[in-house]
Amino acid sequence: MQNARATGSGRRSGIAALLAALLLPGQPHAENRVNAGTPPERQVYFGDLHVHTTYSNDSFGYNNDRTPDVAYRYAKGEPVATVGGATIQLRTPLDFLAVTDHAEYLGIFSAMTAPEHPLNPTELGRQASSSDVATRYAAFGTFIRALRSGEFPEGFYDPANTLSVWRQIVETADAHYEPGRFTAFAGYEWTSTVQGGNMHRNVIFEGSADLPLPFAASDSRNPEDLWTWLERQRMRGVDAIAIPHNSNVSDGRMFALTDSFGEPIDAAYAARRTWNEPLVEITQQKGTSETHPALSPTDEFADFELFTELLISGGTPGKVSGSYVREAWLNGVRLQAEAGFNPFQFGVIGSSDNHSGTSAVEEGNYTGSRGPASDGTPALRQPTELWGGLPRQSFSAAGLTAVWAEENTRESLFAAMRRRETYGTTGTHLRVRLFAGWELPMDLHERAEREALGYARGVPMGGVLEGPARGRSPTIVVWAARDPEGANLDRIQIIKGWTANGAVHERIHDVALSDPARRRSDGSVTPVGNTVDVPGARHTNTIGSAELAAAWTDPDFDPTQPAFYYVRVIEIPTPRWTTFDAAALGVPPLDLVPATLQERAFTSPVWYLPAGQAGTARQP
Partner 1 sequence: MHDVLARLLRDPLTHFLALGGIVFALWAALDTAPADNPAGTVSAAPVSVPDSRDILIDAAEQRLLTAYFTAQWRRLPTEAEFRELLDARIREEVLMREALALGLDRGDRVIRQRLAQKLEMTLREVAALETPTEAELAAFHARHRDRYALPPRISLTHRFVSARQHGDAAAARAAALLHALQSGDDVSADPFHAPGILLAETPDRLARVFGNTFRDAVLAAIQDGQPIGRWTGPVASPWGIHVVRIDDYQPGRQRGFAESRAAVEQDWREDAQAAAEVRRIELMRRRYRVEIAPFDPATERLQ
Q: Which residues bind partner 1 (CB under 8 A)?
A: 11-12, 15, 34, 37, 41, 43-44, 46, 77, 92-93, 95, 114-118, 120-122, 126, 129, 154-155, 157-160, 181, 429, 431, 433, 445-448, 450-451, 479, 481-482, 484-485, 545-549
User: Which amino acid, residue 200?
Assistant: H
Reduce the DSSP state of residue 599 to 3 states and report it. Answer: coil
With respect to partner 1, which residue has the nearer C-beta, 420 or 445? 445
Whole-number minimum distance, CB 183 to partner 1, in Å? 13
Here the contacts of 327-332 (C-beta below 8 Å, separation 24 or greater) are: 327/255, 327/291, 327/295, 328/247, 328/254, 328/255, 328/280, 329/497, 329/564, 329/566, 329/605, 330/497, 330/499, 330/504, 330/505, 330/506, 331/255, 331/257, 331/504, 332/564
With respect to partner 1, which residue has the nearer C-beta, 156 or 275? 156
The CA distances from residue 225 to 108, 237, 251, in Å, are 24, 19, 21
Q: How far is CA 93 from the centre of its chain?
A: 18
With respect to partner 1, which residue has the nearer C-beta, 64 or 129? 129
Beta bridge partners of 309: 317
With respect to partner 1, which residue has the nearer C-beta, 42 or 201? 42
Cα within 13 Å of Cα(52), Cβ side: 31
With respect to partner 1, which residue has the nearer C-beta, 37 or 468? 37
With respect to partner 1, which residue has the nearer C-beta, 68 or 610? 68
How far apart are the C-alpha atoms of 60 and 54, rounded to whole Å?
A: 5
With respect to partner 1, which residue has the nearer C-beta, 451 or 490? 451
Whole-number minimum distance, CB 436 to partner 1, in Å? 18
Reduce the DSSP state of residue 353 to 3 states and report it. Answer: coil
> 125 with 119: CB under 8 angstroms?
yes
Whole-number minimum distance, CB 558 to partner 1, in Å? 32
Whole-number minimum distance, CB 137 to partner 1, in Å? 20
Provide the phi-psi class of 7: left if phi over 0, else alpha when psi is between -120 and 50, else beta: alpha
How far apart are the C-alpha atoms of 414 and 585, rounded to whole Å?
A: 42
Whole-number minimum distance, CB 21 to partner 1, in Å? 17
Whole-number minimum distance, CB 359 to partner 1, in Å? 15
DSSP H or E run through 393: none
With respect to partner 1, which residue has the nearer C-beta, 129 or 603? 129
With respect to partner 1, which residue has the nearer C-beta, 93 or 340? 93
> 153 with 147: CB under 8 angstroms?
no
Whole-number minimum distance, CB 435 to partner 1, in Å? 12
Q: Vertex 528, ends 527 and 534: CA angle to 5°?
A: 105
Whole-number minimum distance, CB 101 to partner 1, in Å? 20
The phi, psi pair for 331, rounded to 5°, reads -60, -30
Whole-number minimum distance, CB 588 to partner 1, in Å? 31
How far apart are the C-alpha atoms of 321 and 264, rounded to whole Å?
A: 16
With respect to partner 1, which residue has the nearer C-beta, 23 or 478? 478
> 264 with 608: CB under 8 angstroms?
no
Whole-number minimum distance, CB 287 to partner 1, in Å? 27
User: Which amino acid, residue 505?
Assistant: H
Whole-number minimum distance, CB 522 to partner 1, in Å? 26
With respect to partner 1, which residue has the nearer C-beta, 120 or 313? 120
Cα within 13 Å of Cα(499), Cβ side: 24
How far apart are the C-alpha atoms of 150 and 160, rounded to whole Å?
A: 21
Whole-number minimum distance, CB 486 to partner 1, in Å? 9
With respect to partner 1, which residue has the nearer C-beta, 112 or 302? 112
The CA distances from residue 321 to 15, 224, 292, 314, 336, in Å, are 40, 21, 9, 21, 19
How far apart are the C-alpha atoms of 464 and 49, rounded to whole Å?
A: 25
Task: Indicate the angle between helix axes 68-75 and 159-176, nearest 10 degrees.
Answer: 20
* Residue count (the chain): 620
Nearest C-alpha neighbor of 312 from the set 527, 577, 61: 61
Whole-number minimum distance, CB 479 to partner 1, in Å? 7
Strands 459-460, 386-387: pairing is unpaired
Whole-number minimum distance, CB 213 to partner 1, in Å? 14
> 365 with 375: CB under 8 angstroms?
no
Q: Is the peptide bond before 468 cis (omega within 30 degrees of 0)?
A: yes
Whole-number minimum distance, CB 180 to partner 1, in Å? 8
Alpha helices in 296-361 (DSSP H): 325-339
